[in-house]
Amino acid sequence: MYSRFAMLCLLPLLASCGSLTAPTPAVEVPATLRPRASESLAVIVPAKGVQIYECRANKDHPGQHQWAFVAPEADLFDVRGVKIGHHYAGPHWESNDGSRIVGTVKQRADAPQADAIPWLLLTAESVGASGAFVKVTSIQRVNTVGGVAPKDGCSRNTLGATGRVDYTADYYFFTAK
Protein backbone atom coordinates (compact mmCIF):
# COMPACT_ATOMS: atom_id res chain seq x y z
CA MET A 1 0.00 0.00 0.00
CA TYR A 2 2.73 2.47 0.98
CA SER A 3 4.80 1.78 -2.14
CA ARG A 4 1.74 2.27 -4.38
CA PHE A 5 1.04 5.61 -2.66
CA ALA A 6 4.70 6.63 -2.95
CA MET A 7 4.71 5.83 -6.68
CA LEU A 8 1.57 7.92 -7.23
CA CYS A 9 3.22 10.85 -5.43
CA LEU A 10 6.43 10.47 -7.43
CA LEU A 11 4.81 10.35 -10.87
CA PRO A 12 4.38 14.15 -11.22
CA LEU A 13 7.96 14.71 -10.05
CA LEU A 14 9.35 12.13 -12.47
CA ALA A 15 7.31 13.61 -15.30
CA SER A 16 8.71 17.07 -14.64
CA CYS A 17 12.27 15.70 -14.47
CA GLY A 18 11.76 13.96 -17.78
CA SER A 19 10.89 17.27 -19.41
CA LEU A 20 14.32 18.54 -18.37
CA THR A 21 15.97 16.25 -20.90
CA ALA A 22 14.68 17.88 -24.08
CA PRO A 23 17.13 20.70 -24.94
CA THR A 24 16.65 22.73 -28.08
CA PRO A 25 19.57 23.80 -30.26
CA ALA A 26 22.11 26.03 -28.55
CA VAL A 27 22.28 29.74 -29.26
CA GLU A 28 25.41 31.12 -30.96
CA VAL A 29 27.75 32.48 -28.28
CA PRO A 30 31.19 34.09 -28.37
CA ALA A 31 34.05 31.56 -28.26
CA THR A 32 34.92 32.64 -24.70
CA LEU A 33 31.50 31.45 -23.48
CA ARG A 34 31.66 27.96 -24.96
CA PRO A 35 31.83 25.04 -22.54
CA ARG A 36 34.66 22.51 -22.64
CA ALA A 37 34.68 20.01 -25.52
CA SER A 38 34.16 17.28 -22.93
CA GLU A 39 30.73 18.69 -22.01
CA SER A 40 27.39 18.47 -23.77
CA LEU A 41 24.13 20.38 -23.43
CA ALA A 42 21.82 18.55 -21.03
CA VAL A 43 18.93 20.98 -20.59
CA ILE A 44 17.81 24.55 -21.17
CA VAL A 45 16.21 26.14 -18.13
CA PRO A 46 14.34 29.42 -18.74
CA ALA A 47 14.28 31.83 -15.81
CA LYS A 48 12.09 34.80 -14.93
CA GLY A 49 12.71 37.05 -11.96
CA VAL A 50 14.68 40.05 -10.76
CA GLN A 51 18.25 41.19 -10.37
CA ILE A 52 18.59 42.92 -6.99
CA TYR A 53 20.81 45.99 -6.58
CA GLU A 54 21.71 48.17 -3.58
CA CYS A 55 22.65 51.85 -3.57
CA ARG A 56 26.20 52.09 -2.16
CA ALA A 57 29.08 54.53 -1.94
CA ASN A 58 31.41 54.22 -4.93
CA LYS A 59 34.74 52.95 -3.53
CA ASP A 60 36.67 54.18 -6.56
CA HIS A 61 35.14 57.68 -6.57
CA PRO A 62 34.64 59.19 -3.10
CA GLY A 63 31.48 61.25 -2.81
CA GLN A 64 29.78 59.34 -5.64
CA HIS A 65 27.22 56.57 -5.37
CA GLN A 66 26.30 53.59 -7.52
CA TRP A 67 23.94 50.67 -7.77
CA ALA A 68 25.82 47.49 -6.80
CA PHE A 69 24.62 44.01 -7.73
CA VAL A 70 23.47 41.97 -4.73
CA ALA A 71 21.77 38.81 -5.99
CA PRO A 72 19.42 37.23 -8.50
CA GLU A 73 15.98 36.00 -7.51
CA ALA A 74 14.19 33.99 -10.18
CA ASP A 75 11.94 31.04 -10.84
CA LEU A 76 13.20 28.27 -13.13
CA PHE A 77 10.98 26.49 -15.65
CA ASP A 78 10.99 23.36 -17.77
CA VAL A 79 10.28 23.29 -21.52
CA ARG A 80 6.52 23.23 -20.83
CA GLY A 81 6.62 26.30 -18.58
CA VAL A 82 6.20 24.34 -15.34
CA LYS A 83 8.15 25.76 -12.40
CA ILE A 84 10.96 23.35 -11.55
CA GLY A 85 13.13 25.37 -9.19
CA HIS A 86 14.61 28.63 -8.00
CA HIS A 87 17.74 30.71 -8.71
CA TYR A 88 19.17 32.85 -5.91
CA ALA A 89 22.30 34.33 -4.29
CA GLY A 90 25.49 32.36 -4.49
CA PRO A 91 24.65 32.06 -7.34
CA HIS A 92 22.63 28.89 -6.73
CA TRP A 93 20.20 26.99 -8.92
CA GLU A 94 17.97 24.68 -6.89
CA SER A 95 15.59 22.11 -8.32
CA ASN A 96 12.29 21.27 -6.68
CA ASP A 97 13.78 17.79 -6.09
CA GLY A 98 16.40 19.26 -3.70
CA SER A 99 19.38 19.07 -6.02
CA ARG A 100 21.36 22.30 -5.98
CA ILE A 101 24.38 23.70 -7.75
CA VAL A 102 26.53 26.74 -7.10
CA GLY A 103 28.21 28.59 -9.96
CA THR A 104 31.43 30.54 -10.33
CA VAL A 105 31.74 33.03 -13.18
CA LYS A 106 34.43 31.91 -15.60
CA GLN A 107 33.79 34.32 -18.51
CA ARG A 108 31.38 37.10 -19.41
CA ALA A 109 30.37 38.87 -22.61
CA ASP A 110 28.11 41.81 -23.32
CA ALA A 111 24.59 40.79 -24.27
CA PRO A 112 23.56 41.57 -27.85
CA GLN A 113 20.89 43.90 -26.39
CA ALA A 114 22.30 47.06 -24.77
CA ASP A 115 19.74 47.03 -21.95
CA ALA A 116 20.33 43.39 -20.90
CA ILE A 117 22.64 41.85 -18.32
CA PRO A 118 25.76 40.13 -19.69
CA TRP A 119 25.91 36.59 -20.97
CA LEU A 120 28.01 34.32 -18.76
CA LEU A 121 29.84 31.02 -18.64
CA LEU A 122 30.01 29.58 -15.13
CA THR A 123 31.55 26.46 -13.69
CA ALA A 124 29.09 24.51 -11.55
CA GLU A 125 29.44 22.34 -8.48
CA SER A 126 26.77 20.18 -6.88
CA VAL A 127 26.11 21.27 -3.29
CA GLY A 128 22.73 19.66 -2.64
CA ALA A 129 20.87 16.40 -2.73
CA SER A 130 21.02 13.97 -5.61
CA GLY A 131 18.59 14.88 -8.38
CA ALA A 132 18.08 16.66 -11.69
CA PHE A 133 20.91 19.21 -11.29
CA VAL A 134 23.57 17.00 -9.63
CA LYS A 135 25.61 16.27 -12.77
CA VAL A 136 25.73 19.85 -14.11
CA THR A 137 29.35 20.96 -14.66
CA SER A 138 28.91 24.27 -16.53
CA ILE A 139 26.17 26.84 -17.07
CA GLN A 140 25.71 29.46 -19.78
CA ARG A 141 23.45 32.43 -19.11
CA VAL A 142 22.19 33.59 -22.51
CA ASN A 143 19.21 35.26 -24.17
CA THR A 144 19.08 37.82 -21.38
CA VAL A 145 16.44 40.55 -21.36
CA GLY A 146 16.52 43.39 -18.83
CA GLY A 147 18.12 43.11 -15.42
CA VAL A 148 20.62 45.97 -15.72
CA ALA A 149 21.20 48.25 -12.74
CA PRO A 150 18.95 51.29 -12.46
CA LYS A 151 20.43 54.35 -14.19
CA ASP A 152 19.49 56.83 -11.48
CA GLY A 153 17.98 57.12 -8.02
CA CYS A 154 21.17 56.32 -6.12
CA SER A 155 22.54 59.17 -4.01
CA ARG A 156 23.77 59.97 -0.52
CA ASN A 157 20.13 60.29 0.53
CA THR A 158 19.23 56.81 -0.75
CA LEU A 159 22.23 54.80 0.50
CA GLY A 160 21.09 51.28 1.37
CA ALA A 161 18.01 51.45 -0.86
CA THR A 162 17.40 48.39 -3.03
CA GLY A 163 16.26 48.18 -6.61
CA ARG A 164 14.65 45.08 -8.12
CA VAL A 165 14.93 44.96 -11.90
CA ASP A 166 12.94 42.42 -13.93
CA TYR A 167 14.90 40.04 -16.14
CA THR A 168 14.60 36.85 -18.10
CA ALA A 169 17.34 34.51 -19.25
CA ASP A 170 17.96 31.02 -20.48
CA TYR A 171 20.36 28.91 -18.45
CA TYR A 172 22.02 26.20 -20.52
CA PHE A 173 23.12 23.37 -18.22
CA PHE A 174 26.02 21.22 -19.44
CA THR A 175 27.19 17.86 -18.15
CA ALA A 176 30.22 15.67 -18.86
CA LYS A 177 29.84 13.61 -22.05
Q: Per residue in 1-60, pLDDT tens?
A: 333 333 333 333 333 344 444 455 568 999 999 999 999 999 999 999 999 999 999 999
> pTM value?
0.84
> What is the structure's pLDDT at 16?
39
pLDDT, mean of residues 80-91: 97
- What digits encode the pLDDT tens for the residues 143-175? 999 999 999 999 999 999 999 999 999 999 999
26-30, 64-68, 134-138 — which is least confidently predicted? 26-30
The C-alpha atoms of residue 100 and residue 47 are separated, in whole angstroms, by 15
